[in-house]
């Protein structure tokens, strides 16, 4: 590892003359001075907005942008304190280690690979195990349905559908409280508690004898499981580069595929154990106890951030956070920012992510709850239904990881989502057009397995949203809106299917077909908007005297990034851009990302590049 820092840290000079506050950054070439009346053009756009009247300017002391009791008169010390308080935890680590805020670590390809391998060997397996358990715990209801749960508990009308939907109602209710908790609390320990509590809930569910008790148990199961996906999106953002995020998200989300594959086999074996208990009670007890046991493993080994990771040395922690610099999304701050919340809610991207995840979650919710019953409608008995549902998981696994690999290779997520949408469109059409007759079982199963491609879309939407959102509070709030959309879709999805419509399930399949088609249109809209935002940031950089074009090295491997930087430096030396005096983004890459850990949002940071 080679260290690289400027000989002197940036100096800040405050000049109250004529009511103007100036900041001189002597660490950058040609020390520049910024005035507060040029807020929309200065790089430090996240510095406190001090109002328009020099005589009575106030500073929001808690950094939330509200006019409350914490507002106090501006002094140079107050401004400096507020600016420092908005730093990301990565910047805090540098200060604690006696490093200047602009300190950088020159990460070699070997360093990058070594630290990435350590993260993959410790953090990723924990996430995979938890997501596998969540998936199998959530689908125990579907397995229980074919082993007599509906008959034993006297479920009628759409009560079984409500048992599928109530999990997502609980998750919907929990999302915004979770956004605040994920900002404020240690994420590893918080997630461990949630895992333990949902395991206990599943154990208790084995004693449910009627619809009301099942409904309450499923509600609390959903409430405790609600934290897993938002926590894992946040953990992925704080440990992996943007290039690496789609594949890692696909890994843990692909555990749903393993759930469908091995969950079917495991429940088949559990249901055949001689016992005085009903088969579904054995299933609930087994997976509940396994979940509780694993929560202790999570307590012991899941870190709260790279900065607090016990398996990394101090040197490796610096490398771990340096790897994330070009993400421009920060690590974490544990400071709630109301201005980030407002920006998240006003950001059109937020609602595009909401729409995308809603359009895929309605079919997901229906198929995950009624999948075994759909297969059973092809004319199979209970045990054959469980076994023929297993290939659904294999197709899901292939589409999830395969889609992420393609997105990583070509640095594009939107086109991959659109292509993956084609298979379930065809699958729905096949099921709608094929008679439910034993002679057509092969065609019906083929259509069902084509539908099972859709899970590959969901982690790509997660990573697409995560890669295009910066600022700790904004990231958590945007994720909350995203998972509200997912919860709504999963609530509505099972309600579009009812046992009384068996075996055709026309209403559910027709609505799913429409939503898969609409998903492609939404991808096109999102791509156009992200390209527009990149053009806007390019114009802002030009106004600041920076290069209009930038290379997003966060999407490259360490070796490819080094080659791209050398090529950019060579090109800039031969053909300099106007105003850059022979230096383009490649040549000035050392200055790019200086505010990556300032807890700025993607809108505030003109160096942020949107990916589509």
Dihedral sign of CA atoms 559, 601, 81, 309 in order: negative
10 Å CB burial of residue 156 (0-12, 13-18, 19+) is exposed
- Predicted TM-score (pTM) of this structure: 0.77
Integer angstrom CA distances of residue 253 from 7, 86, 130, 397, 557: 45, 33, 10, 9, 23
Distance CA 210, CA 331 (A): 46
Residue 462 has pLDDT above 90, yes or no: yes
Residue 50, both tokens: 């001090």
Helix (H) or strand (E) holding 272: none
All domains of the chain in start order, with CATH = 2-42+47-85 (no CATH), 109-531 (1.20.1250.20)
pLDDT tens-digit readout, 249-260: 999 998 887 877
Among 122-126, 407-411, 477-481, the range scoring the smallest mean pLDDT is 407-411
> Which residues of 291-339 form beta strands (DSSP E)?
none
Structure tokens given for 107 = 């990460």
pLDDT reported for residue 575: 57
pLDDT tens-place string over residues 142-167: 778 778 788 888 888 778 878 877 88
pLDDT tens digits, 310-336: 999 888 888 888 888 777 776 766 788
Tell me the C-alpha distance between 527 and 353, whole Å: 11
Burial 315-339 (b: 16+ CB within 10 A, else e): ebbbbbbbbbbbbbbbbbbbbbbeb
Per-residue model confidence (pLDDT) at position 569: 64
Whether the pLDDT of residue 67 is over 80: the answer is no
DSSP H stretches of helix in 377-438: 382-410, 414-420, 422-433
Tokens encoding 555 = 């999407």
- pLDDT tens track for 114-147: 999 999 999 999 999 999 998 888 778 877 877 8
Q: What are the backbone dihedrals phi and psi of residue 10, each rounded to the nearest 5 degrees, phi first? A: -60, 135
Weakest mean pLDDT among 72-76, 123-127, 343-347, 417-421:
72-76
Give residue-wise pLDDT tens across range 501-523. 888 889 999 999 999 999 999 99
Pick 330 or 458 by higher pLDDT.
458
Nearest to 599 by CA among 403, 334, 382, 249: 334
pLDDT (tens digit per residue) in 205-228: 888 888 899 999 999 999 999 999
What band does 401 get if pLDDT is binned at 50, 70 and 90?
very high
Give the length of the chain.
612
Whether 468 contacts 482, CB under 8 Å: no
Residue 466 to residue 327: CA distance in whole angstroms: 10
Place of tokens 């908007």: 529
Q: How confident is the model at residue 580 (pLDDT cuts 50, 70, 90)?
A: very low
The residue to which tokens 């390209």 are assigned: 531
Say whether pLDDT at 239 is over 80: yes
Predicted confidence band at 101 (pLDDT cuts at 50, 70, 90)?
Answer: low
Q: What is the pLDDT of residues 289-310, one digit of tens each?
A: 999 999 999 999 999 988 889 9
Query: pLDDT by residue (tens digit) across 2-54?
Result: 444 443 333 333 333 323 333 333 333 333 333 333 333 333 333 333 233 33
pLDDT at position 47 is: 36
CB 15 within 8 A of CB 116: no
Residue 426's CB: how many other CB atoms inside 10 A?
Answer: 16
Q: Which residue has the tokens 């060997």?
A: 121
147: left (phi over 0), alpha (psi -120 to 50) or beta: alpha
- Is the model's pLDDT at 68 over the cut of 90? no
DSSP one-letter code for 307: G
pLDDT at residue 419, rounded to an integer: 96
Residue 495: predicted pLDDT: 81
Region class of 28: left (phi > 0), else alpha (psi between -120 and 50), else beta: beta
Exposed / middle / buried, residue 269 (Cβ in 10 Å: 0-12, 13-18, 19+): exposed
- pLDDT tens track for 191-204: 999 999 999 999 99
pLDDT at 565: 67
Task: Determine how β-strand 58-60 pairs with β-strand 32-35.
Answer: unpaired
Say yes or no to pLDDT of 456 above 50. yes
String of DSSP letters for 111-137: HHHHHHHHHHHHHHHHHHHHHHHHHHH
Contact 306, 217 (CB under 8 A): no
Pair 288, 200: CB distance under 8 Å: yes
As to burial, measured by CB atoms within 10 angstroms (0-12 exposed, 13-18 middle, 19+ buried), residue 30 is: exposed
The owner of tokens 């843990």 is: 252
What stretch of H or E contains 486?
A: helix 472-495
Tokens standing for 320?
């771990």
The DSSP bridge partners found for residue 25 are 32
Neighbours of 216 (CB within 10 A): 15
Three-class SS of residue 185? coil
- The rounded mean pLDDT for the chain is 78
Residue 89: pLDDT band (50, 70, 90) is low
Percent of the chain residues topping a pLDDT of 70? 76
The answer on pLDDT for 545 being more than 50 is yes
The pLDDT-based confidence of 461 (bands split at 50, 70, 90) is very high
What share of residues in the chain are helix, strand, coil (percent, to 5)? 65, 5, 30
pLDDT band (50, 70, 90) for residue 423: very high
CB 432 within 8 A of CB 510: yes
């Amino acid at each position: 590892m080679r260290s690289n820092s400027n000989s002197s840290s940036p100096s800040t000079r405050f000049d109250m003359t004529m009511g103007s506050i100036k900041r001189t950054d002597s660490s950058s070439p040609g020390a520049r001075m910024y005035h507060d009346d040029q807020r929309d053009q200065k790089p430090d756009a996240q510095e406190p907005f001090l109002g328009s009247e020099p005589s009575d300017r106030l500073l929001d002391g808690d950094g939330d942008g509200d006019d409350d009791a914490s507002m106090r008169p501006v002094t140079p010390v107050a401004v400096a304190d507020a600016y420092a308080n908005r730093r990301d935890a990565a910047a805090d680590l540098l200060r604690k280690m006696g490093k200047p805020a602009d300190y950088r670590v020159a990460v070699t390809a070997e360093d990058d690979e070594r630290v990435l391998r350590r993260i993959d060997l410790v953090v990723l397996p924990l996430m995979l195990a938890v997501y596998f358990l969540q998936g199998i715990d959530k689908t125990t209801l579907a397995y229980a349905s074919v082993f007599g749960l509906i008959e034993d508990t006297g479920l009628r009308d759409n009560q079984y559908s409500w048992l599928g939907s109530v999990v997502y109602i609980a998750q919907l209710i929990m999302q915004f409280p979770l956004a605040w908790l994920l900002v404020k609390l240690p994420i590893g320990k918080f997630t461990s508690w949630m895992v333990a509590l949902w395991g206990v809930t599943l154990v208790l569910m084995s004693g449910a004898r009627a619809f009301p008790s099942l409904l309450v148990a499923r509600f609390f199961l959903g409430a405790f499981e609600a934290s897993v996906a938002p926590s894992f999106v946040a953990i992925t953002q704080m440990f992996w580069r943007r290039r690496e995020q789609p594949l890692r998200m696909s890994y843990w989300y692909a555990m749903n595929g393993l759930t469908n594959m091995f969950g079917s086999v495991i429940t088949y074996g559990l249901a055949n154990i001689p016992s005085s208990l009903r088969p579904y009670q054995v299933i609930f007890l087994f997976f509940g106890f396994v979940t509780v046991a694993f929560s202790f493993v999570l307590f012991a080994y899941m870190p709260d951030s790279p900065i607090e990771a016990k398996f990394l040395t101090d040197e490796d922690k610096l490398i771990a956070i340096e790897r994330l610099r070009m993400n421009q999304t920060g690590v974490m701050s544990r400071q709630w920012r109301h201005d980030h919340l407002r920006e998240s809610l006003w950001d059109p991207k937020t609602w595009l992510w909401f729409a995308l995840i809603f359009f895929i979650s309605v079919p997901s919710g229906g198929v995950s709850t009624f999948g075994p019953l759909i297969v059973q409608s092809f004319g199979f008995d209970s045990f054959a239904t469980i076994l023929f549902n297993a290939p659904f998981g294999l197709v899901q696994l292939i589409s999830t990881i395969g889609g992420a690999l393609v997105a990583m290779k070509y640095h594009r997520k939107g086109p991959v989502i659109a292509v993956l949408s084609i298979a379930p469109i065809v699958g729905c059409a096949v099921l709608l057009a094929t008679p439910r007759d034993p002679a057509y079982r092969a065609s019906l199963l083929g259509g069902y397995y084509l539908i099972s491609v859709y899970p590959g879309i969901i982690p790509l939407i997660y990573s697409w949203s995560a890669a295009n959102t910066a600022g700790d509070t904004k990231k958590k709030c945007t994720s909350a809106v995203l998972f509200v959309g997912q919860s709504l879709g999963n609530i509505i999805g099972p309600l579009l299917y009812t046992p009384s419509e068996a075996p055709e399930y026309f209403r559910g399949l027709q609505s799913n077909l429409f939503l898969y088609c609409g998903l492609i249109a939404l991808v096109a809209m999102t791509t156009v908007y992200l390209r527009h935002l990149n053009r806007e940031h390019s114009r802002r950089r030009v106004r600041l005297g920076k290069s209009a074009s930038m290379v997003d090295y966060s999407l490259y491997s360490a070796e490819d990034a080094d080659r791209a930087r050398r090529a950019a430096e060579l090109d800039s030396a031969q053909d300099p851009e106007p105003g850059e005096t022979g230096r383009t983004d490649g040549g000035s890459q050392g200055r790019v990302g200086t505010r990556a850990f300032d807890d700025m949002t993607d809108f505030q940071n003109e160096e942020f590049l949107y990916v589509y």
